[in-house]
Amino acid sequence: MLTTNEIGGRIAVARKLKNLSQAQLAEQLAVSAQAVGKWERGESMPDILMFQRMAAVFGTDLNYFAWEGAATPEANQAEPAGGMPTEPERPGWNMSRGNWVDADFSGLSGLAERFSGANIERCRFVGSEMAGLKLRENNIRDSDFSDSVFRGSRFCDSNLIGCDFSASSLGGSQISNSNLERSVFASSSLEGCWVGDSNLIGCDFTSSSLDGSQISDSNLERSVFTSSSLDGSQISDSNLERSVFTSSSLDGCQISDSNLERSVFASSSLEGCWVGDSNLIDCDFSASSLSGCQVSNSNLERSVFAGCDFSQSEFVDSNLTNCDFSAANLMDAAIRCCNFEKVNLDGAVLRGTKFIDCRADRLTFAFLKACEADLSGVEMIEDEV
């Protein structure tokens, strides 16, 4: 990758080979002669569109401005028709292993494998076509990839910290062993994505679709999924502590061996979901629909399920101590081998609910009795003195 001064030198060489003065080149590029002078002295850098226009004027490709050994333009080559260069098809540029800072590459396309290993900081790639992109050992920070296409891409062993992927398409992409901390995926499509061994702490997935996605061995602590869809997704061995899923859909979602402590699922749909061997302490599921869900061997201590629908759901070998089920619907639900101590059931509907080998403190037992629940499978635990 060439330095700014080396790139400036190449601009000067190509200009002279074409027998152009700085003023003549400036006129063809619709810039000032002073701007051309600054480029050639290495005091400033053209943007990607200007590089493309110069490549057309000089009769070369973009690699001439980036790499040692790239072909030098031929002398006295005719100018493009009409005097003003037409914008070439985007792009022919190999950005691998390059160092790019504060540049605008918006609208790039077709990089595929020519992006790996690049160091990129505060650059713009807005509206770019990058389907099938392969990132490996990249270090990308605070860059803008919004409104771009990444379908079927692979991000491996890379840093993409604080990047903006808003309104982008990443369906079918794979993210492995990478750090995307504080990145934004708002209003994006991530259907069928696979995420493994990665850090997505503090990411924003507001109003996004992650239907059918798979997340494993990853950290998404404090991430936001408000008004998003994760239907049919699978989350395993991952940390989503203090994440927000308010007003979202997780129907048919499977969550296993994961930590969702202090997460918020208020006003969401989790119908037919399955939760196993997970930590959901201090979670808020208020006014959510969890009908037909299954929860096994999990800890839901102190969680809030006020106004929720649990009809035909099942809790097995789980801890429901100090939970709030006020005004919840547990009609035809099954609660098996669970700790049901100090549970608030004020106004709950328990018609047809089955309790099998459960334990309840005296107050909860009284609540169950007042709700005319079948207590034959509930053991009352005497309060500790």
| pLDDT of 213 over the 80 cut | yes
State in Å, rounded, how far the first CA of the chain is from the last one.
75
| pLDDT of 98 over the 80 cut | no
Q: Do 101 and 206 lie in a common domain?
A: yes
Asked whether residue 122 is domain-assigned, the answer is yes
Q: Do 272 and 332 lie in a common domain?
A: yes
Token couple for 166: 């808003």
Q: Do 250 and 381 lie in a common domain?
A: yes
Give the angle 87-88-91 at the CA atoms, nearest 5°: 120
Instruction: Tell which wins on pLDDT, 40 or 268.
Output: 268
Residue 261: which CATH number? 2.160.20.80
Asked whether residue 137 is domain-assigned, the answer is yes
Q: Do 270 and 376 lie in a common domain?
A: yes
Can you tell me the mean pLDDT for 368-380?
Answer: 86
Asked whether residue 238 is domain-assigned, the answer is no
Residue 52: which CATH number? 1.10.260.40
Q: Do 372 and 253 lie in a common domain?
A: yes
For the chain, give the mean pLDDT. Answer: 88
DSSP of 85-142, one letter per residue?
A: PPPPSS-----TT-EEES-B-TT-B--TTTTTT-EEES-B-TT-B-TT-EEES-EEES
Chain segment 125-157, per-residue pLDDT in tens: 999 888 999 999 999 999 999 999 999 999 999
| pLDDT of 70 over the 70 cut | no
- pLDDT in the model for residue 28: 87
Considering the entire predicted model, what is its pTM? 0.76
Q: Do 114 and 183 lie in a common domain?
A: yes
Q: Do 127 and 216 lie in a common domain?
A: yes
Asked whether residue 230 is domain-assigned, the answer is no
Asked whether residue 109 is domain-assigned, the answer is yes
Can you tell me the mean pLDDT for 60-76?
Answer: 69
User: Domain range holding 303?
Assistant: 245-385
Going by pLDDT thresholds of 50, 70 and 90, the confidence category of residue 310 is very high
Asked whether residue 231 is domain-assigned, the answer is no
Q: Do 69 and 54 lie in a common domain?
A: yes
Q: Do 220 and 281 lie in a common domain?
A: no
Contact (CB, 8 A) for 344 and 363: no
Domain end call among 66, 93, 120:
93
Going by pLDDT thresholds of 50, 70 and 90, the confidence category of residue 234 is very high
Number of helices and strands in the chain (H, E): 5, 18
Q: Do 137 and 170 lie in a common domain?
A: yes
Domain end call among 27, 61, 93:
93
Lowest mean pLDDT among 4-8, 188-192, 196-200, 265-269: 4-8
Q: Do 296 and 307 lie in a common domain?
A: yes
Lowest mean pLDDT among 61-65, 81-85, 302-306: 81-85
Q: Which helix (H) or strand (E) element contains residue 334?
A: strand 334-336
Asked whether residue 235 is domain-assigned, the answer is no
**Number of domains observed in the structure of the chain:** 3
Asked whether residue 348 is domain-assigned, the answer is yes
Contact (CB, 8 A) for 372 and 353: no
Domain end call among 93, 118, 133:
93
Going by pLDDT thresholds of 50, 70 and 90, the confidence category of residue 243 is very high
Count of alpha carbons within 13 Å of 31, Cβ hemisphere only?
Answer: 18
Chain segment 156-174, per-residue pLDDT in tens: 999 999 999 999 999 999 9
Q: Do 79 and 170 lie in a common domain?
A: no
